[in-house]
Amino acid sequence: LQAIADAGRRNYSLFLRPDGLLIGYYETDDDAAAQRALAADPRTAAWEAQMADYFVASTGRPDQEAPRLTEVFHLEDQLARHHAGSNRA
């Protein structure tokens, strides 16, 4: 777990539905650098082995192969745009 934080991932959460769907969320300033750091850290391999059952058809490193989702809504960004538009009146 410390390796994940040391790699620069923060606000890392995993959410599991009863049907087995696992959604992970984290923030990082540089995801590629975080992935490289995790790949080089032997502590990460043990954690990934424990988590492997939660990933579909993983052929390598589970957290590195997860599909990336596009953020379509962020409350703070929307509020900033709203307030910027209100200030133009």
pLDDT in the model for residue 58? 57
pLDDT in the model for residue 88? 64
**Paired tokens of 52:** 């492997």
pLDDT in the model for residue 22? 81
pLDDT in the model for residue 8? 96
Query: What are the 10-residue block averages of pLDDT along the chain, 89 residues in total?
Result: 93 91 90 91 83 68 71 92 80
Closest CA to 56 of 25, 83, 24, 21: 21
Cut 0.75: pTM above it: no
